[in-house]
Every structure is written in C-alpha cells, then in structure tokens.
Amino acid sequence: MWSFIAKAALAGVMIAAIAEIGRRLPATAAIVASLPLVSVLGMIFLWHARPDAENMAIHAQATFWYVLPSLPMFLLIPVLLRSGTNFWIALLAGCALTVVLYLGMSAIGPRLGLKL
C-alpha cells in the first residue's frame, strides 16, 4: 500500500511541477511534460515488481506504438483554441480524438504484427 501511495505522490509532484513551470515558462513546461518520465518510472516500477526482460520489451514497444495516436491531440487543441473554441471543449475534442486513434491502433496494430 505504501508503495502505491509513494508512486501516486511522485506522479502528483511531477504534474504540479509542470503546472508551476508552465505559469512562467510555457515552452519549458512543454519540454518537461514531453519527457517520457512517466514511462521511465513505470518501467522502473514494473521491473521492480516483475524483472522479466521479455515482459519489459513488450511493454516498451507497446508504449512506443501507443504514443503515436496521442500526438495529434497536441495539434488539434491549439488549432481549436486559436479559432476561439472554449478550452474545455478543445480539451475534450483532443481527448476524444486520442481515444478514437487508440481504438484504431488497438484494432489495426495486431494485424500489422505489432504486439500491443
């Protein structure tokens, strides 16, 4: 239980740090947010729980393929915001696009031989 709480606290600190940096330096916060910190920490925690090289390789490769469908969200949101769309609507649209693309990746990826 304490391990879970520590992991959750670490994730919360990372998000809070990005938000604080973003208030003053939006581009710097974007760099920090784009770092694969969550993925790296997740791999460390997964390795600690189950030190299995093949399991880790599958996890890392699947993470790569699932990052790709999330990227268009970061193009759609600024386009919508600059066109006058409400922030919450733009964010919802970006998240909806990502879900649709994730579902597409989940359906198409295995047909292309990807281990997802």
pLDDT, residue 44, reads 93
Pair 67, 116: CB distance under 8 Å = no
Could you read off the pLDDT of 63-100 as tens digits, one per residue?
Answer: 999 999 999 999 999 999 999 999 999 999 999 999 99
**H, E, C per residue of the chain:** CHHHHHHHHHHHHHHHHHHHHHHHCHHHHHHHHHCCHHHHHHHHHHHHHCCCHHHHHHHHHHHHHHHHHHCCHHHHHHHHHHCCCCHHHHHHHHHHHHHHHHHHHHHHHHHHCCCC
- Residues 28-71: pLDDT tens digits? 999 888 888 888 988 999 999 999 999 999 999 999 999 999 99
